[in-house]
C-alpha cells in the first residue's frame, strides 16, 4: 500500500521506497524525516488531488502524488 491509498486521519508506518524512485528524491525524503519505521498520519488531500499532506516526526509535509505513490506503508 502507498500513501495515496490511505484514508484521511489514518496512521501508517513507512516500510520502504519503491524501486522506481530516483536517488535525488529518495535523498530528499530521507532528509525530511521520511525514513523506514517512522510513523506518519495522512492529514489531507489537496482540493484538486495533486498532492497530499502528511504529519511525520512532528512536521507537516506536502508531497506530490507521484512521490507519495513511491512510499510503501503499512497500517
Residue by residue, pLDDT tens for the chain (75 residues) are 988 889 999 999 999 999 999 999 999 999 999 999 999 999 999 988 889 999 999 999 999 999 999 999 998
| pTM of the predicted structure, to 2 decimals | 0.85
User: What is the predicted pLDDT for the residue at 48?
Assistant: 87
pLDDT of residue 71: 94
Q: 20-44 b/e with 16+ CB inside 10 Å = b?
A: ebeeebbeebeeeebeeeeebebee
- Cα-Cα-Cα-Cα torsion 16, 5, 34, 11, nearest 10 degrees, comes to -110
Helix (H) or strand (E) holding 65: helix 65-68
Domains of the chain in start order, with CATH, are 3-74 (2.30.30.90)
Between CA 40 and CA 28, with CA 6 as vertex, the angle to 5 degrees is 50
Q: Where are the alpha helices (DSSP H) in 3-64?
A: 23-31
Amino acid at each position: 500500500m502507498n500513501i495515496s491509498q490511505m484514508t484521511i486521519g489514518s496512521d501508517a508506518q513507512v516500510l520502504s521506497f519503491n524501486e522506481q524512485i530516483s536517488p535525488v528524491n529518495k535523498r530528499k525524503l530521507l532528509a525530511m524525516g521520511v525514513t523506514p519505521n517512522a510513523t506518519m498520519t495522512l492529514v489531507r488531500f489537496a482540493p484538486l488531488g495533486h498532492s497530499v499532506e502528511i504529519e511525520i516526526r512532528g512536521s507537516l509535509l506536502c508531497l506530490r502524488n507521484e512521490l507519495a505513490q513511491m512510499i510503501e506503508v503499512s497500517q
